[in-house]
Amino acid sequence: MTPSDADFERAVALLQGGELVGLPTETVYGLGADAANPAAVAKIFAAKGRPADHPLIVHLAGHDAVDHWAEQVPAVAWELMETFWPGPLTLILKKQAWVPDAVTGGQDTVGLRVPGHPVALELLRRFAAVAGLHAGIAAPSANRFGRISPTSAAHVAEELGDRIPLILDGGPCKVGIESTIVDCSRGEPVVLRPGHISPEHLQAVLGRCPNIETASGAPRVSGSLAAHYAPQTPMRLVAGERLLDFLNAQRHKGDTCGVISHSQPPQAGMPHPWRMLPADPVGYAHDLYAALRDMDHANVSLIAVEALPASPDWAAVSDRLRRAVAGAGKD
């Protein structure tokens, strides 16, 4: 699905005028504003209800803009860009002095990425053509703060439709979870948020497996709160072998459960709304947020999610589920 020329022209005009635009990326849909305009960026925080000290990711049309936004870019960062951009990788770099605090959350670093979605790239190119070759769009996920990230234009409309003048529809997101974030600002690259690009993918470029860090010494980054990506319905993670007993116990208590699993229901005719997701981490990630959103509308009192395998290739979706459980049901 590709927006019309008129849609792109309107989106660029809105961005130039300091307004917001919903846009697709390969990860999730973003809520975009001119990253060089602090007043426009402030509208992102207002629309989402996002705390002002939470940094945003700046989306660029290509590598050529990096030096405009970041300084002291290490060689390893360029290697990662060459390999994974356009794509679902965000790099944390030392910011140029001019970069607005509204984008960085007052930190001395900035998150940059070139998205791997044709609609996002076309919008970025057209915006750069009129706003300056190094122009960027700050774009966190287009949902209310802490809630389920949107993976379709309809999800954005449901979350924020009355707060956004235009949503560019690029179809369903290919990846379905947010980008991997790698900090290159403090020497050795460190993974601050897991994503579609795994530590093994990074190791192939770096020659070593990067460290994974969530410590307070790291820069604050998007999606790093303990509670995030959450439905309004309470959630529980339940081991597959305990799922049937758990559901029976909930039914006896009078609770209604929806279930998200990656294996077959334990018996036929289960009296529960049931979403079975792919049993591989890439397919599961693609479908996860839509499944959570569906279950949030299923009029159940609890969402039971079958626990995921503990292997490293499931780390990114395990991270999202863990944060979703922590924030679920807390309005």
Q: Are strands 190-193 and 180-183 parallel, antiparallel or unpaired?
A: antiparallel
Q: Tell me the mean pLDDT in the region 9-30.
A: 98
With 0-12 / 13-18 / 19 or more C-beta atoms within 10 angstroms meaning exposed / middle / buried, residue 59 is buried
23 pLDDT band (50/70/90 cuts)?
A: very high
Query: Do the domains 5-212 and 235-327 sit in the same CATH topology, yes or no?
Result: no
In the chain, where the domains are located? 5-212, 235-327
- The mean pLDDT of the chain is 93
pLDDT given for residue 225 in this prediction? 75
CA-wise closest residue to 22 among 125, 143, 184: 143
pLDDT given for residue 331 in this prediction? 62
| CB of 210 closer than 8 Å to CB of 190 | yes
**pLDDT tens profile 71-124:** 999 999 999 999 999 999 999 999 999 999 999 999 999 999 999 999 999 999
**pLDDT tens profile 254-272:** 889 999 999 988 777 778 8
Q: Tell me the mean pLDDT in the region 13-29.
A: 98
Q: Is 60's pLDDT higher than 90?
A: yes
DSSP tag of 209:
P
Residue 269's identity, in one-letter code, is G
Residue 182 makes CB contacts below 8 A (sequence gap 6+) with 80, 89, 90, 91, 92, 189, 190, 191, 192, 202, 210
**pLDDT tens profile 152-192:** 999 999 999 889 999 999 999 999 999 999 999 998 999 99
Q: Is 215's pLDDT higher than 60?
A: no
- The first and second tokens of residue 74, run together, are 């290490």
Cα separation of 117 and 115, whole Å? Answer: 6
pLDDT given for residue 216 in this prediction? 59
Q: Where are the beta strands (DSSP E) in 233-297?
A: 235-238, 257-261, 274-276
pLDDT given for residue 214 in this prediction? 64
Phi, psi torsion values for 10, nearest 5 degrees: -65, -40
Phi, psi torsion values for 126, nearest 5 degrees: -65, -40
pLDDT given for residue 206 in this prediction? 93
**pLDDT tens profile 316-330:** 999 999 999 998 877
What pTM value is reported for the model?
0.94
Nearest 5°: the CA angle 276, 198, 186 is 140
Superfamily of domain 235-327: Threonylcarbamoyl-AMP synthase, C-terminal domain (3.40.50.11030)
Q: Is 125's pLDDT higher than 60?
A: yes
Superfamily of domain 5-212: DHBP synthase (3.90.870.10)
Q: At 137, which helix (H) or strand (E)?
A: strand 137-138
